[in-house]
Amino acid sequence: MSMNNLPYGTLRAFLTPFLMILFRPKVKGLRNVPASGPLIIASNHLSFSDSIFMPLVVPRKVTFLAKSEYFTSPGPKGLLKKLTFIALGQVPVDRSGGRRSEAALITGLQVLSEGKCIGIYPEGTRSPDGRLYKGRTGIARLAIESGAPIVPVAMFNTEKIQPTGQVLPNIKRVGMTFGEPMYFDGDSTDLAYLREVTDKIMDRIQELSGQEYVDEYAVKAKKPDPNKGEEESE
């Protein structure tokens, strides 16, 4: 069997008991997740493990438009990431911004047109310091052009469970709060309107999470001191 055909249900059945026993998820508002129809789940992003915990709690399959780097990382850690994301049905896309992210939009619209649920991190990358950063407007385009509702989500404690660069998780309680669905329509070519919609989504995530909001992109905050000659990294 190809790795791309690993059964989602089998992995979910295997991982869920461990999630429940070891990490004792505290979940609020799960009833806000529609049982069927196209849906966008928009979450803050604190840790790689966000993409593991949240899909295992939601009662329907969540397909994340995952960073393509997660499927190409070297070594045992990279292989583990690749296998996990494939088994969970995640889709590799270039989310680096601009025209290169047009493929992510097209892929997302295709998934939603099939009545499925996708998960998106509007910040575009993990928070470098636990604060909530400015959202990218691709999520607004997806919502407007697909007509799918957005359920905002706040993840808690995952940055302590699996800090950046750590392979084995720490055993701590994970938390998730799901907000009420948000609906948007209008002109998806109006850049000012896309920013307005995106800011409303981020405001709601901030209300749920209680994080301090930073009005700049997380990737910019991750840029190293140029005097040190380091490369920007995820």
Amino acid 65: pLDDT: 78
Phi, psi of 178 (to 5 degrees): -105, 125
Amino acid 3: pLDDT: 43
DSSP designation for 3: G
Q: Please give the average pLDDT of every successive group of 10 residues along the chain, which has 234 residues.
A: 55 81 95 97 94 90 78 76 72 62 84 95 93 96 97 96 85 96 97 98 98 94 56 34
Amino acid 129: pLDDT: 94
Cα–Cα distance for residue pair 24/176, rounded to 1 Å: 11
Cα–Cα distance for residue pair 224/215, rounded to 1 Å: 18
Cα–Cα distance for residue pair 41/63, rounded to 1 Å: 10
Cα–Cα distance for residue pair 23/159, rounded to 1 Å: 13
For residue 148, give the nearest of 109, 104, 192 by alpha carbon: 109
Q: Which domains, and CATH codes, for the chain?
A: 27-218 (3.40.1130.10)
- The DSSP element (H or E) to which 105 belongs, if any, is helix 102-113
Which amino acid, 27? V
Amino acid 111: pLDDT: 93
